Amino acid sequence: MAEIAERPTTAGARAFLIGAHVGADTAREGESLLQELSELVWTLGLPIVGERLVKVAKPQASYWIGSGKAEQLIAEAKEAGAQVIVFDNELTPGQQRNWEQLSGLAVIDREEVILDIFAGRAQTREARLQIELARAEYSLPRLARAWGHLNRQQGGGLGGKGEGESQLEIDRRLTRRRIEKLREELEEVRAQRATQRKRRQRIPLPRASIVGYTNAGKSSLLKKLTGADVLVEDKLFATLDPTTRRVEVPSGQTLLLTDTVGFVRRLPTRLVEAFKATLEEAMLAEFLVHVLDASDPEIFEFHRTTMSVLEELGAHEKPILTVLNKVDLLPDADARAPLQRHFPDPIFISTKTGEGLDELLHRCGGLLADRPLVLELLLPHERGDLLALAHRAGRVQSSEVRDDGTHLIAVLPPRVAEQLKPYVQPTPEISELEEETERVSG
């Protein structure tokens, strides 16, 4: 049996990728998933020295694939100089141990790759806690990988009292305690976030969430529409924490627009759970802006992936604007025809050239046409009729008589807001609440 290599913890370990599919009808999907895995591994910082897609009649208990094929792939990986094997399919703890023992190499699967990416990119306290919890839950049944080579500790001194705890048992106990502690800390952070949300709801501005497959251009869209200073990278999961910024639509409404974490196929269930706080924006928003890469040949599969996750979150029945980004990369205008047939009333845009952004804002405004507006007003002292109108037709959040007039923040129907438009003032309080993100610092 080969001695198991230490698991790579830094960028630079050479990776050999393996994907397995069952049946000929899934071969194309298997190729696409393996390509996606290569992008994930590249994002993690591991150079790829080889990859193989294999077909199996049915998943095997020991190695997912047959033992003979496993030995063949291990030989190929070693010949290529690989230090780690990355499996696209989810491996059980037992299968992972079997691969490591057979190969003497570190072996990880897609879930571990995604967890490591998230761990390196989470910025807020809540995101860091969620990822640490997900990693701890993932590692608990796999601790034997790290400690399998250690002997039991000996108990007591002279006349010893027999074998003490194994390092594995100690580590499992410590990991369970850490999981409990992380869950407690997350509850505290979620309570803080609930308090923040209540504060924002004092001024009920409409909200929309940008959702979609990772690397479709969601952050680029937020930056283009709002001028937000957000990270934009050509990498999967460039953005993990939600960012909320304000944008004014042509109707005059102010909209809070939130960029959420992107989706991938085979997103591990524990990560869907871990990022529900981030994806909560999709559930709380009045409508969703679903961004897809129009130039990607897998666009229809990516659409299904996102809709599946939204259904898990209970957000799939909300109004959805389907936005097809990167149309500047399409070969010609005819390439739009199949997309128009497949997607209901899509909006073709390019965050690079600006095409379609005005139409998108108008469509957003259309969804808000009948929604009350939140305005700060400064009414002249002699216009008591307007003050009475605001109280009668809307909901006044605050009112203060000042030297230059009556200052109020009010929620008003569109027709009344249009009448009072000459008296609208910019308000620091509303701006502060509009631009507040879902972040809990720490």
Within 72-218, strands assigned E span: 84-87, 106-109, 207-212
Q: Does domain 373-434 have CATH number 3.30.160?
A: no
- Given the candidates 3.90.79.10, 3.40.50.11060, 3.40.50.720, 3.10.105.10, the CATH classification of the domain at 15-116 is 3.40.50.11060
Please state at what angle helix 276-284 crosses helix 125-139, rounded to 10 degrees: 120
| Confidence (pTM) | 0.72
First to last CA, the chain: 46
CA 395, CA 414: separation in Å to the nearest integer?
13
Q: In what order do the strands lie in the sheet with 106-109?
A: 48-56, 15-22, 84-87, 106-109
CA 122, CA 131: separation in Å to the nearest integer?
8
- DSSP letter for each residue of 47-62: PEEEEEEEEESS-BTT
Note whether 15-116 and 205-367 share their fold. Answer: yes
- DSSP class of residue 318 equals S
CA 104, CA 95: separation in Å to the nearest integer?
14
Contacts of 22 (CB under 8 A, 6+ apart): 55, 56, 57, 58, 59
146 class by beta-carbon count within 10 Å (0-12 exposed, 13-18 middle, 19+ buried):
middle
CA 298, CA 306: separation in Å to the nearest integer?
12
- Nearest alpha carbon to residue 17 among 64, 82, 69, 79: 82
Give domain limits for the chain: 15-116, 122-150+166-196, 205-367, 373-434
Q: Domain 205-367: what homologous superfamily?
A: P-loop containing nucleotide triphosphate hydrolases (3.40.50.300)
CA 423, CA 380: separation in Å to the nearest integer?
9
Which pLDDT tens digits describe the chain residue by residue (442 residues)? 444 444 544 457 899 999 998 876 577 888 888 998 998 999 888 999 999 999 988 899 999 999 999 999 999 999 999 999 999 999 999 999 999 999 999 999 998 998 888 887 777 787 788 888 888 988 888 886 654 433 444 444 333 444 445 778 888 899 999 999 999 998 898 788 777 766 655 556 788 999 988 888 888 899 899 886 655 555 555 555 667 888 888 877 788 888 887 777 777 767 766 666 556 656 678 899 999 999 998 899 889 888 887 887 778 788 999 999 999 999 988 999 999 999 989 999 999 999 999 999 999 988 887 788 778 899 999 999 999 999 998 889 889 999 999 999 888 888 888 889 889 886 544 455 444 444 433 3
Give the distance, in angstroms, between the CA of residue 350 and the centroid of all CA atoms in the same chain: 22
